[in-house]
């Protein structure tokens, strides 16, 4: 697995932890919640990239959440599963604010994370929302 994907998974896990259990952002960004024996705990480059995603997502959260909410069809923001929301947040942040990363890479990575961590059909839902966001941004 490429290190950028591992970093995105780490960012997803951090955002999920933040939303599900109110882990303080300072603790999120230090990644002190990682198990010491995990491969990610020793990889500073991986944590740095994940930290950029998490910090940026938290900084731009109102804008990110507004874009997500705008593109939910027949669904309310409040009903989103926390796993799906965490994936959408980091992906929408990347689409909007990390324009040096190809949109297709961001969307593909989000789909793969959803397949691994989300419900059976989460990846389809996430793909639909991200595609709509990307089209609005002027794909």
pLDDT in tens, 82-123: 999 999 999 999 999 998 999 999 999 999 999 999 999 999
pLDDT at 20: 82
Instruction: Decide: helix, strand or coil at residue 2.
Output: coil
State the Cα–Cα distance between residues 59 and 45, nearest whole angstrom. 21
pTM beyond 0.85, yes or no: yes
- 3-61 pLDDT, tens digit per residue, is 788 899 989 988 998 888 877 777 766 766 555 545 555 577 888 898 899 999 999 99
How is 31-51 classified by DSSP, letter by letter?
Answer: TTTS-TTSHHHH-HHHHHHHH
Query: Distance between CA 14 and CA 125 in Å, rounded?
Result: 21
Burial class (CB in 10 A: 0-12, 13-18, 19+), 67: buried
pLDDT band for position 1 (cuts 50, 70, 90):
very low
In contact, 56 and 97? CB cutoff 8 Å? yes
Q: Do residues 24 and 90 make contact, with C-beta atoms less than 8 angstroms apart?
A: no
The pLDDT, as a whole number, for residue 139 is: 63
Q: All domains of the chain, ordered by start, with CATH?
A: 3-136 (1.10.940.10)
């Amino acid at each position: 697995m490429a290190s950028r994907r591992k970093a995105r998974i780490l960012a997803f896990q951090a955002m999920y932890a933040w939303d599900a259990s109110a882990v303080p952002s300072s603790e999120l960004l230090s990644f002190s919640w990682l198990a010491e024996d995990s491969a990610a705990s020793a990889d500073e480059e991986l944590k740095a990239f994940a930290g950029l995603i998490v910090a940026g997502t938290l900084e731009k959260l109102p804008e990110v959440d507004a874009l997500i909410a705008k593109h939910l069809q027949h669904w309310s923001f409040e009903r989103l599963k926390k796993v799906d929301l965490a994936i959408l947040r980091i992906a929408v942040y990347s689409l909007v604010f990390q324009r040096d990363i190809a949109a297709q890479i961001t969307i593909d990575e989000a789909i793969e994370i959803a397949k691994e961590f989300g419900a059976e059909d989460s990846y389809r839902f996430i793909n639909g929302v991200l595609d709509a966001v990307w089209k609005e941004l002027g794909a």
